[in-house]
Amino acid sequence: LPESFDWRDKGAVTEVKMQGTCGACWAFSTTGSIEGANFIATGKLLNLSEQQLVDCDHTCDKKDKESCNSGCKGGLMTNAYNYLIEAGGIEDEDSYPYTGKRGECKFQPDKVAVKVSNFTNIPVDEQQIAAYLVNHGPLAVGLNAVFMQTYIGGVSCPLICGKRWVNHGVLLVGYGSKGFSILRLSNQPYWIIKNSWGKRWGEHGYYKLCRGHGMCGMNTMVSAVMTQTS
Amino acid sequence: QEDFKIRQVTDQNHQTTTAHGGDNHHNHNHNYLGTPAEHRFKSFIQQYDKKYTTREEYIHRLGVFVKNLIKAAEHQALDPTAVHGVTQFSDLTSEEFERMYMGVKGGGDRSPLLGEVGSHAPPLEVKD
């Protein structure tokens, strides 16, 4: 594994998006992982539609029937992959633009930009997560976002952060080995995480979270997606 | 220059929240008017182009903002390697923030059922 790695440098990550006052982070996490997988498969970076997921995806988790995708009221990335496999694919942002509100489903199968063939859950081991990130592209991740309300920058490494309360979907795009901490006067490894709260939040829309401690449960809900190329 | 004097930010009489708790909070929030906290709140409003339709809403959001200043200081103490402070979410309660900007359901076991798509990924070689 390289010491540091960033899919943004390789052109696999779209611009930071803004979900607005709509709890659809799960949709942004899903599209981010598909955008990356499609880039690796085709060399083309497409901006994919979250609104299709917000409007059309009502898939429920197969184990927990109460965890159903429900537009701005929340969802799960793994449910979304299952929906996209069933639906036949995802449109791009231009053909199905984001409104930030749940509306009537306007999915047009003939406008599908990327097809999803499969997905996989990544082991909780953070070395494995790094290996899958490098080999398969950006990964959809769930984490506990309690410290993100006040986050401005730097490497976040809270002394206490609940690992069970995973409540926010984001995209893992890379990692670094030397995030300097003024207070600890040392360097520490960190993950580079793309958020969907616009560029004015965090470090130009990104969050740096310390690596190797299962911080804020970031290692418990990690998934990679496979796209289908014709 | 900010005024760094310690000011009372807790209820004088430690009133418990009752059916009229909202009024107590509302009255309490009036205490922040004219303080350095309100000055920071005004800068925040300008920076993030916030708009509150009524005076009551402004005072309520001021109270939330002050609580979030305390929360940011707590987060800074708990998370010293990052920088915490005022963000565009500083006028939202934790509940509002979670409802509006998060949205992942349940953090339990998401491992797939046997034989379904989306299986667990096999371990990769990660030595060196």
Please report the DSSP string for B40-56 in residue order.
HHHHHHHHTT---SSHH
* Interface contact B117-A179, CB threshold 8 A: no
Bridge-based pairing of strands A186-194 and A139-143 is: unpaired
For residue A160, what are its two tokens? 């206490």
Residue carrying the six token digits 């509002």: B96
Q: Select the highest-mean-pLDDT range: A132-141, A171-180, B7-16.
A: A132-141
CB-nearest to B110 from A78, A123, A150 is A78
**Lowest pLDDT segment from A194-203, B16-25, B119-128:** B16-25
Tell me whether A184 touches chain B (CB under 8 Å).
yes
Residue with more model confidence, A3 or B28 = A3
Q: Residue A22: closest CA among chain B residues belongs to which residue?
A: B100
Of the pLDDT bands very low, low, confident and very high (cuts 50, 70, 90), residue A184 is low
The tokens of B93 are what?
């309660």
Q: Residue A108 in contact with residue A92, Cβ under 8 Å?
A: no
3-state helix, strand, coil in chain B (%, to 5): 40, 5, 55
Question: How crowded is residue A9: how many other Cβ atoms within 10 Å of its Cβ?
Answer: 10
Please answer yes or no on whether B106 and A19 come within 8 Å at the CB atom.
no
Query: What band does B30 get if pLDDT is binned at 50, 70 and 90?
Result: confident
User: Could you tell me the maximum CA-CA distance found in chain B, to the nearest angstrom?
Assistant: 65
> ipTM higher than 0.90?
yes
For the segment A1-9, the average pLDDT, to the nearest whole number, is 95
Core vs surface per residue A188-224: b (16+ CB within 10 A) or e = bbbbbbbbbbeeebbbebbbbbbbebbbbbbbbbbbb
Catalytic residue among A22, A25, A161, A210: A25
Distance CA B127, CA A77 (A): 30
Alpha-carbon distance A82 to A61, whole Å? 9
Q: How far apart are CA A218 and CA B82, in angstroms?
A: 17
Instruction: DSSP letter for B93, please.
Output: -
pLDDT tens sequence across A128-173? 999 999 999 999 999 999 999 999 999 999 999 988 889 999 999 9
Contacts of A191 in chain B (CB under 8 A): none
Residues in A closer than 8 angstroms to B124, CB to CB, are 128, 131-132, 135
- B85 Cα distance to chain centroid: 10
- pLDDT confidence of B96, banded at 50, 70, 90? very high
pLDDT at B50 over 90: yes
In the block, residue with structure tokens 């976040």: A156
